[in-house]
């Protein structure tokens, strides 16, 4: 993850690798995700994401399924 021009800059990064799910869903998932978004001052010397500005794309694979990811949060 890279944070630039704090407090009102950008964030970018990747999340890649195998993750083990526990709880109601028990499985391994292979993630290959990239993300980017905008930052803003959260007050009291904090930095937060601008709501609705973070875009996540890539794939998630579990078992025989390959799922495309394209969400904005």
- For 21-68, the pLDDT digits (tens) are 999 989 999 999 999 999 999 999 999 999 999 999 999 999 889 999
At residue 27's C-alpha, the angle toward residues 22 and 28, to 5°, is 110
Task: Count up the domains in the chain and report the number.
Answer: 1
- For 4-29, the pLDDT digits (tens) are 999 999 999 999 999 999 999 899 99
> Model's pTM, two decimal places?
0.87
Find, among 45, 34, 33, the residue nearest to 6 by Cα. 45
Give the C-alpha separation, 59 to 44, whole Å: 37
Q: Domain containing 52: what range?
A: 2-72
């Amino acid at each position: 993850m890279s944070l630039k021009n704090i407090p009102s800059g950008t964030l970018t990064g990747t999340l890649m690798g195998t993750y083990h799910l526990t709880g109601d869903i028990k499985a391994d998932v292979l993630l290959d995700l990239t993300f980017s978004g905008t930052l803003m001052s959260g007050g009291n010397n904090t930095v937060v994401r601008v709501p609705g500005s973070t875009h996540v794309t890539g794939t998630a694979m579990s078992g025989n399924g390959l799922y495309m990811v394209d969400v904005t949060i």
